[in-house]
């Protein structure tokens, strides 16, 4: 016969087994109940049909932990769209008291393999009626999250435009918590930007979630973007940094900020310079198309203002930049740093307006760039002493002062006259066509047109020069005497001379000469 001590041990052991069995049964029942609650809450919150493969609740008094796998939410039951949300695995922790509060308080959520696919506006017509879902689930309590952590998430904002790829972000790390406002989450995120490659750090607010139209969910925040390699774009180099702020909804975000690229250069020219910008833009979140209003770029002595768009084309890779560019405060020397391999041949203030179109592609920028505009230089000087001396001499001869002319090969400095230049230009396929060029120095006006090859940096210009002096007055001695014979043939209304001229050869060392074979053609150009 067992002793009293043995009987007590049996009773305690049986009680322990009974309690363990009861706890197991309770755990199974709570897991079933909480699984249903989770599915109901997700259905209401995201207007979606919910799939949950595995779900289990564990007790670690006074905490409750729930783990799940393969969570999938189909927006409005749409199986023809990628799932609104998919999670490979998740775990949640809360206190027992937190699960009894209203709203429920979840202390911590960890997500692994989160995928968000935001459908475009209008993709919400299938499945159950949104109002019916909210009415049916009206008794489901709200939830407050102390912290949500996600690793290796992907955000895709889908587009309804045929042939256009969705905008996609890889979110390496995402931390969220409830803000205190109904449905709003505060976030800190680390993202990888694919093109140009670089890391984005962002802090802001997200929500409340728009149940009927997820792409209309509000978002706002600030960002920093560091060490972006611009060398992935054909034709340019540099390391870009940017910071700014944004606000709006997922499908349309307003962004304003600044960028700095201290080593920006066009590879064909090879002149690095410090390029900074301030910008105000609207980003179409469904495809990444950007509308600029405006961008102000500053480098060296030059400031440019531009507005336009950066848009993709259906069925084609990359985006086309289309801008209206204006410069009221610029220097021609700065602009030429983007186009010429050697040092800029001229300097001076310039005003310009142009249409700017840069198409995507593997070619160097000059081959992909289209420009169509006009310019005006009021006081241009040439950096080559020889070229500038030739212009000074042209001015002196045109004024009838040939005795003051100096040899351009030996002259060290002169009066260094300022030239005025105006005209229209069109750049296409690596060549620049200039028309209605008006070039003026004291005593002379030049009217020209021609082409400039960016690859070879060669000039081919033809036109006329109108001199204040007669042809004989531009020379001294015997040359002046014999030129009096031809003065009538090159005079204009019996006054100064009109000569057909050409400028050819390399940009930094051009060749000037009479273009007598084109006299008839240049006469028409002067009228």
182-191: average pLDDT: 86
Q: What is the spatial distance between Cα 10 and Cα 485, in angstroms, rounded to a whole number?
A: 140
Backbone angles phi, psi at 71, to 5 degrees: -90, 125
Nearest-angstrom CA–CA distance, 508 and 510 = 6
Mean pLDDT over 408-431 rounds to 76
**Residue 31: band (very low, low, confident or very high) from pLDDT cuts 50, 70, 90:** low
Indicate if the pLDDT at residue 338 is higher than 90.
no
pLDDT of residue 519: 53
Q: How many CB atoms lie within 10 A of CB 151?
A: 13
The reply to whether 330 falls in a domain is no
3-state secondary structure 326-386: EEEEEEHHHHHCCCCCCCCCEECEEEEEEEEEECCCCCCHHHHEEEEEEEEEEEEEECCHH
User: Minimal CA–CA distance to 151: which of 171, 131, 179?
Assistant: 171
What secondary structure does DSSP assign to 158-185, as a single string? Answer: ---STT-PPEEEEEEEEEEEE-SSTT-E
Round to whole Å and give the CA distance between 116 and 85: 5
Q: Distance between CA atoms of 328 and 424, rounded to whole angstroms? A: 16
Q: Is residue 258 part of a domain?
A: no
Instruction: For residue 357, count CB atoms less than 10 angstroms from its CB and return exposed for 0-12, middle for 13-18, buried for 19 or more.
Output: middle
54 contacts 70 by C-beta, under 8 angstroms? yes
Q: Over the range 160-173, which residues count as b (16 or more CB within 10 Å of their CB) and which as e?
A: eeeebebbebebee
Q: What is the DSSP-derived secondary structure letter of residue 495?
A: S
Tell me, what's the pLDDT at 413? 52
Measured over the CA atoms of residue 49, residue 54, residue 59 and residue 62, the dihedral's sign is negative
**Tokens of residue 244, six digits:** 């700014």
pLDDT tens profile 268-317? 777 888 999 999 999 887 777 889 988 999 999 999 999 999 887 766 77
**In angstroms, rounded to a whole number, what is the distance separating the alpha carbons of residues 504 and 100?**
87
pLDDT at 395: 84
Beta-carbon contacts of residue 330 (< 8 Å; ≥ 6 apart): 301, 302, 303, 304, 349, 350, 351, 352
The β-bridge partners of 59 are 64
Of the pLDDT bands very low, low, confident and very high (cuts 50, 70, 90), residue 176 is confident
Q: Is 14 a domain residue?
A: no
Q: Taking the mean position of all CA atoms in its chain, how far away is CA 373?
A: 23
Q: Is residue 482 part of a domain?
A: yes
Place of tokens 């028409």: 524
Q: What is the pLDDT of residue 122?
A: 63
The per-residue DSSP string of 400-449 comes to: T-GGG---TTT--------EEEEEEEEEETTEEEEEEEEEEETTEEEEEE
pTM: predicted TM-score of the whole model, two decimal places: 0.72
| pLDDT, mean of residues 67-84 | 88
Residue with tokens 């005795």: 403
**In the structure, what pLDDT confidence band is assigned to residue 435 with cuts at 50, 70 and 90?**
very high
- CA-to-CA distance for 305 and 296, rounded, in angstroms? 5
- The strand pair at 148-157 and 108-112 is best described as parallel
Q: What is the pLDDT of residue 522?
A: 45
Report phi then psi at 363, rounded to 5.
-75, 160
Quote the pLDDT of residue 382: 79
Q: CA angle 276-297-191, nearest 5°?
A: 55
Domain-embedded: residue 274? no
Q: Evaluate whether residue 450 is within a structural domain.
A: yes
Tell me the average pLDDT across 85-101.
82
Per-residue pLDDT, 28 = 44
Question: 3-state class of 41 per DSSP?
Answer: helix
Distance CA 384, CA 403 (A): 23
Mean pLDDT value across residues 28-35: 56
Distance of CA 214 to the CA centre of its chain: 25
- Give the structural domain span for 454: 384-526
Per the CB < 8 A criterion, the answer to whether 186 and 196 are in contact is no
Using one digit for the tens of pLDDT, what is the confidence trace for 56-68? 888 777 788 888 8
Inside any domain, residue 23: no
Q: Which of 197-201, 338-342, 376-380, 502-506 has the lowest average pLDDT?
A: 338-342
Q: Give which of 47, 55, 48, 50 is closest to 39, Cα–Cα.
A: 50
Q: Which of 353, 340, 362 is nearest to 454 (CA)?
A: 340
* 60/84: higher pLDDT: 84
Q: Give the mean model confidence (pLDDT) for residues 200-224.
A: 88
Give the chain's domain count: 1
Q: Say whether pLDDT at 516 is over 80.
A: no
- Pairwise CA distance, residues 185 & 55, whole Å: 25
**Would residue 202 be called left, alpha or beta, if left means φ above 0 and alpha means ψ between -120 and 50 degrees?**
beta
Nearest to 90 by CA among 46, 148, 50, 171: 148
pLDDT tens digit sequence for 120-136: 766 554 444 444 434 43
pLDDT tens string 451-498: 988 778 888 989 988 888 888 888 888 888 888 888 888 887 767 888
522 within domain boundaries: yes
Q: Determine the Cα–Cα distance for residues 86 and 51; give it in Å rounded to an integer.
A: 9
Give the up-direction half-sphere exposure of residue 13: CA atoms within 13 A in the CB hemisphere: 6
Least confident of 122-131, 346-355, 384-393: 122-131
Taking alpha carbons only, the member of 359, 350, 385, 357 closest to residue 372 is 357
């Amino acid at each position: 016969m067992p002793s009293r001590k043995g009987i007590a041990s049996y009773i305690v052991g049986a009680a322990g087994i009974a309690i363990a069995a009861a706890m197991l049964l309770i755990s199974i029942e709570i897991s079933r109940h909480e699984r249903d609650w989770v599915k109901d809450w997700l259905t209401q919150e995201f207007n979606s049909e919910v799939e949950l493969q595995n779900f289990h609740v564990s007790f670690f008094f006074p905490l409750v932990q729930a783990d799940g796998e393969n969570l999938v939410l189909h927006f409005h039951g749409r199986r023809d769209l990628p799932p609104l949300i998919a999670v490979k695995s998740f775990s949640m922790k809360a206190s027992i008291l937190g699960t009894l509060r209203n709203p429920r308080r979840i202390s911590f959520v960890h997500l692994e393999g989160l995928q968000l696919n935001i459908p475009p506006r209008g993709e919400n017509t299938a499945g159950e009626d949104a109002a019916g879902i909210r009415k049916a689930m009206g008794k489901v309590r709200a939830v407050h999250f102390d912290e949500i952590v996600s690793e290796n998430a992907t955000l895709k904002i889908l587009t309804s435009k045929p042939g256009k790829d969705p905008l996609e972000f890889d979110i390496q790390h995402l931390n969220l918590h409830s803000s205190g406002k109904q449905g709003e989450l505060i976030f800190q995120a680390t993202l990888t930007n694919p093109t140009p490659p670089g890391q984005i750090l962002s802090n802001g607010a997200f929500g409340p979630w728009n149940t009927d139209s997820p792409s209309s969910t509000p978002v706002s925040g600030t960002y920093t973007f560091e060490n972006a390699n611009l060398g992935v774009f054909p034709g340019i180099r540099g390391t870009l940094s940017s910071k700014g702020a944004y606000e709006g909804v997922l499908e349309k975000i307003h962004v304003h900020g600044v960028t700095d690229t201290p080593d920006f250069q066009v590879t064909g020219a090879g002149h690095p310079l410090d390029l900074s910008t301030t910008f105000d833009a609207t980003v179409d979140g469904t495809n990444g198309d950007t509308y600029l209003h405006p961008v102000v770029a500053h480098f060296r002595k030059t400031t440019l203002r531009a507005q336009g768009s950066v848009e993709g084309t259906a069925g084609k890779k990359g985006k086309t930049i289309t801008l209206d560019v204006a410069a009221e405060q610029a220097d021609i020397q700065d602009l030429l740093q983007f186009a010429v391999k050697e040092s800029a041949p001229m300097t001076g203030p310039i005003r310009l307006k142009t249409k700017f179109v840069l198409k995507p592609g593997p070619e160097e920028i000059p081959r992909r760039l289209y420009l169509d505009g006009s310019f005006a230089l009021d006081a241009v000087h040439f950096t080559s002493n020889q070229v500038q001396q030739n212009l000074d001499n042209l001015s002196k001869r045109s004024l009838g002062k040939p005795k003051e002319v100096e040899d351009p090969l030996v002259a060290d400095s002169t009066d260094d006259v300022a030239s005025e230049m105006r005209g229209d230009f069109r750049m296409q396929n690596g060549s620049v066509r200039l028309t209605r060029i008006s070039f003026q120095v004291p005593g002379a006006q030049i009217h020209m047109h021609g082409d400039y090859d960016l690859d070879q940096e060669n000039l081919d210009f033809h036109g006329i020069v109108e001199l204040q002096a007669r042809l004989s007055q531009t020379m001294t001695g015997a040359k002046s005497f014999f030129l009096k014979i031809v003065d009538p043939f090159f005079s204009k209304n019996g006054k100064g001379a009109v000569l057909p001229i050409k400028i050819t050869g390399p940009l930094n060392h051009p060749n000037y000469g009479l273009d007598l074979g084109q006299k008839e053609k240049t006469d028409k150009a002067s009228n």
